[in-house]
Amino acid sequence: MASEKRLRIKTLIMVLAMVVCAVTGDLLLKRGMSELGAVQFTGSGLGQALMHIATSGMIWLGILFLLGFMATQMTVMSWADYSYVMPAGAFGYALQTFLAVVVLHEAVSMRRWIGVFLICIGVVLVGQTKPRTTECAERVSEKAVMSC
Amino acid sequence: MLTVLLLFVLICGSTGGEIAISHGAKKTGEPKRMRPREVLVFISQVMSNGWFLLGIPLMAASFFALLILFSWHPLSFVIPISALSYVVGALGAKYLLKEEVDAARWAGVILVCAGVALVAAG
């Protein structure tokens, strides 16, 4: 029972770290690509887009955050189900909306609030299920086997 | 037509890549302790795993599809459609990773999918 609680808390912390990295990374990428404008689907257009991507600090910072997202995601998926982590990570959309209202004082439509509500209910529902339903794989350490 | 193809690459690439990496991470086993050094050792072990090497090109294809779609269409078009990846991912988890996706988890996944589509469209 104690190990199950520990597993839930550990999973929650990692999912939160994952969400923060993903939200920040996506925002930076969107801003970086918007500076470029519409990419033309031709050889020169794609080459120009690649050059922009390679030289944009905003995009590199976004990529750095997305690498952080990937590292936290890989770590949490070493013990938790993919079908548990993936929907729980959608809490990022709700977080973005709360930040838009609280920090940026943006007006948010009713449709968006309904979406946030559905996401929160969905995350709570997934959160009620066991974080891990598959059997333990080969472990790196004996300690990890004991907490399995 | 190119938009449909890119959306397919976006959804199946990211889901397939994550499923492959998830499988590789589980095969590696979780880090002994949550300390930076041990997490880095764990990540380097996952990165030398064949499943990771399969997942990365799939995710890279998805990433470039996302960048191109972002430059062609507003976020409010791209993200609602990409929300389908939650359902595709749950199907992959059930049939490829053999996870138990029970009724509560399915309900959660479907609500999240609908919610993400509404938020992004809103």
Q: Among all residues of chain B, which has the CA nearest to that of A35?
A: B71
Instruction: Check residue A136 and give its pLDDT.
Output: 58
Instruction: Check residue A124 and give its pLDDT.
Output: 93
Partner residue facing B111 (CB), from A121, A128, A143: A121
Average pLDDT of chain A?
Answer: 83
Partner residue facing B115 (CB), from A85, A122, A127: A122
Instruction: Check residue B10 and give its pLDDT.
Output: 95
B59-74: pLDDT as tens digits: 999 999 998 998 888 8
* Chains A, B: CB pairs < 8 Å: 194
Domain that residue B24 falls in: 2-121
Please give the Cα distance from A110 to A119 (Å, whole number): 14
CB contact under 8 Å between A90 and B115, yes or no, is: yes
Please give the Cα distance from B3 to A137 (Å, whole number): 39
The residue to which tokens 């997305």 are assigned: A66
Count of domains for chain B = 1
* Whether the predicted pLDDT of B89 surpasses 50: yes
Q: Which two tokens stand for residue A65?
A: 């955050």
* Whether the predicted pLDDT of A140 surpasses 50: no
**φ, ψ (nearest 5 deg) of residue B18:** -65, -40
**Closest to B59 (Cα-Cα) out of A17, B99, B51:** B51
Task: Please state which of the ranges A101-105, B80-84, B101-105 shows the lowest mean pLDDT.
Answer: A101-105
* Whether the predicted pLDDT of A90 surpasses 60: yes
Partner residue facing B108 (CB), from A77, A112, A125: A125
Measured between beta carbons, the chain B residues lying within 8 angstroms of A144 are 29-32
**Closest to A79 (Cα-Cα) out of A33, A15, A25, A35:** A15
* Whether the predicted pLDDT of A120 surpasses 80: yes
A9-23: pLDDT as tens digits: 889 899 999 999 988
Rounded to an integer, what is the distance from CA B52 to the centroid of its chain? 13
Please give the Cα distance from A102 to A98 (Å, whole number): 6
**φ, ψ (nearest 5 deg) of residue A130:** -70, 135
Please indicate whether residue A6 or residue A144 has the higher confidence score (pLDDT): A6
* Whether the predicted pLDDT of B17 surpasses 90: yes
User: Average pLDDT in the A73-97 region?
Assistant: 90
B24-53: pLDDT as tens digits: 999 998 888 888 888 889 999 999 989 999
At A141, is the pLDDT very low, low, confident or very high (cuts 50, 70, 90)?
very low
* Whether the predicted pLDDT of B118 surpasses 80: yes
CB contact under 8 Å between A74 and B46, yes or no, is: yes
CB contact under 8 Å between B31 and A108, yes or no, is: no
At A1, is the pLDDT very low, low, confident or very high (cuts 50, 70, 90)?
low
ipTM rounded to 2 decimals? 0.88
At A142, is the pLDDT very low, low, confident or very high (cuts 50, 70, 90)?
very low
pTM, to two decimals: 0.79
Residue of B39, B41, B71, B102 for testing the chain A interface, max A β-carbons within 10 Å:
B71
Q: Among all residues of chain B, which has the CA nearest to that of A108?
A: B122
Partner residue facing A141 (CB), from B32, B75, B93: B32
